[in-house]
Amino acid sequence: MGTIALSAAILDLTETFNAQTGTSYTLVASDNGKTVTLSNAAAITLTVPAGLGAGFYCNLIQTGAGQVTIAADGVTLNSYGGALKIVGQHGSASLVATAANVFNVAGNLTT
Protein backbone atom coordinates (compact mmCIF):
# COMPACT_ATOMS: atom_id res chain seq x y z
CA MET A 1 0.00 0.00 0.00
CA GLY A 2 1.32 3.47 -0.93
CA THR A 3 1.66 6.59 1.18
CA ILE A 4 -0.29 9.77 0.78
CA ALA A 5 1.52 12.98 1.54
CA LEU A 6 -0.54 16.03 2.44
CA SER A 7 0.68 19.59 2.49
CA ALA A 8 -1.08 22.66 3.76
CA ALA A 9 -1.43 25.82 1.75
CA ILE A 10 -3.19 29.05 2.45
CA LEU A 11 -5.66 29.98 -0.26
CA ASP A 12 -6.30 33.71 -0.44
CA LEU A 13 -9.73 34.30 -1.95
CA THR A 14 -9.56 38.04 -1.41
CA GLU A 15 -10.46 39.75 -4.63
CA THR A 16 -9.98 43.42 -5.24
CA PHE A 17 -12.09 45.65 -7.39
CA ASN A 18 -11.21 48.49 -9.74
CA ALA A 19 -14.32 50.63 -10.33
CA GLN A 20 -14.31 52.60 -13.59
CA THR A 21 -16.97 55.19 -14.46
CA GLY A 22 -15.69 56.77 -17.67
CA THR A 23 -16.51 55.97 -21.29
CA SER A 24 -13.12 54.36 -21.85
CA TYR A 25 -10.58 52.45 -19.82
CA THR A 26 -7.29 50.76 -20.73
CA LEU A 27 -6.24 47.81 -18.60
CA VAL A 28 -2.96 48.12 -16.68
CA ALA A 29 -0.69 45.48 -15.14
CA SER A 30 -2.09 46.16 -11.66
CA ASP A 31 -5.52 44.94 -12.86
CA ASN A 32 -4.12 41.40 -12.91
CA GLY A 33 -6.31 39.23 -10.68
CA LYS A 34 -8.88 41.97 -10.11
CA THR A 35 -12.48 42.51 -11.07
CA VAL A 36 -12.92 45.66 -13.13
CA THR A 37 -16.41 47.14 -12.89
CA LEU A 38 -17.52 49.44 -15.71
CA SER A 39 -20.39 51.84 -15.12
CA ASN A 40 -21.62 54.63 -17.36
CA ALA A 41 -24.90 55.55 -19.05
CA ALA A 42 -23.04 55.84 -22.39
CA ALA A 43 -21.17 53.11 -24.27
CA ILE A 44 -17.79 52.11 -22.80
CA THR A 45 -14.65 50.91 -24.58
CA LEU A 46 -12.34 48.68 -22.55
CA THR A 47 -8.94 48.46 -24.27
CA VAL A 48 -6.59 45.52 -23.82
CA PRO A 49 -3.04 46.78 -24.50
CA ALA A 50 0.10 44.88 -25.41
CA GLY A 51 2.59 44.02 -22.68
CA LEU A 52 0.33 42.72 -19.90
CA GLY A 53 2.11 39.36 -20.07
CA ALA A 54 1.11 35.71 -20.36
CA GLY A 55 -0.99 34.64 -17.40
CA PHE A 56 -2.66 38.03 -16.93
CA TYR A 57 -6.32 37.63 -16.05
CA CYS A 58 -9.18 39.77 -14.83
CA ASN A 59 -12.93 39.73 -14.58
CA LEU A 60 -15.11 42.43 -16.14
CA ILE A 61 -18.60 43.42 -14.98
CA GLN A 62 -20.83 45.93 -16.77
CA THR A 63 -22.62 47.61 -13.86
CA GLY A 64 -24.15 50.50 -15.83
CA ALA A 65 -26.45 50.81 -18.83
CA GLY A 66 -23.64 51.68 -21.29
CA GLN A 67 -22.60 48.58 -23.24
CA VAL A 68 -18.96 47.55 -22.81
CA THR A 69 -16.96 46.78 -25.97
CA ILE A 70 -13.62 45.02 -25.50
CA ALA A 71 -11.04 46.36 -27.94
CA ALA A 72 -7.51 45.21 -28.87
CA ASP A 73 -4.45 47.47 -28.96
CA GLY A 74 -1.55 45.41 -30.30
CA VAL A 75 -2.99 42.13 -29.01
CA THR A 76 -5.10 39.27 -30.34
CA LEU A 77 -8.51 38.78 -28.72
CA ASN A 78 -10.10 35.36 -29.19
CA SER A 79 -13.73 34.72 -28.24
CA TYR A 80 -16.52 32.39 -29.25
CA GLY A 81 -18.03 33.64 -32.50
CA GLY A 82 -15.93 36.81 -32.35
CA ALA A 83 -18.22 38.28 -29.67
CA LEU A 84 -16.50 41.14 -27.82
CA LYS A 85 -19.38 43.11 -26.26
CA ILE A 86 -20.82 42.40 -22.83
CA VAL A 87 -24.53 41.68 -23.37
CA GLY A 88 -25.86 44.29 -20.96
CA GLN A 89 -26.05 45.63 -17.44
CA HIS A 90 -24.90 43.04 -14.89
CA GLY A 91 -23.32 40.91 -17.62
CA SER A 92 -19.75 39.79 -17.09
CA ALA A 93 -16.72 38.43 -18.90
CA SER A 94 -13.30 37.05 -18.08
CA LEU A 95 -10.08 37.89 -19.88
CA VAL A 96 -7.08 35.52 -19.78
CA ALA A 97 -3.72 35.92 -21.52
CA THR A 98 -2.94 32.45 -22.86
CA ALA A 99 0.36 33.70 -24.31
CA ALA A 100 2.12 37.03 -24.62
CA ASN A 101 -0.38 39.44 -26.23
CA VAL A 102 -2.93 36.67 -26.92
CA PHE A 103 -6.12 36.77 -24.86
CA ASN A 104 -9.18 34.60 -24.51
CA VAL A 105 -12.41 36.47 -23.74
CA ALA A 106 -15.34 34.46 -22.39
CA GLY A 107 -18.61 35.20 -20.65
CA ASN A 108 -21.91 36.97 -21.33
CA LEU A 109 -20.85 38.27 -24.75
CA THR A 110 -22.51 39.33 -28.00
CA THR A 111 -21.31 40.68 -31.36
pLDDT of 9 reads 58
Domains assigned to the chain: 18-110 (2.60.120.640)
CB 74 within 8 A of CB 95: no
pLDDT of 11 reads 54
Cα separation, 52 vs 70, in Å, equals 15
Q: Model confidence over 24-51: pLDDT tens digits?
A: 999 999 999 999 999 999 999 999 999 9
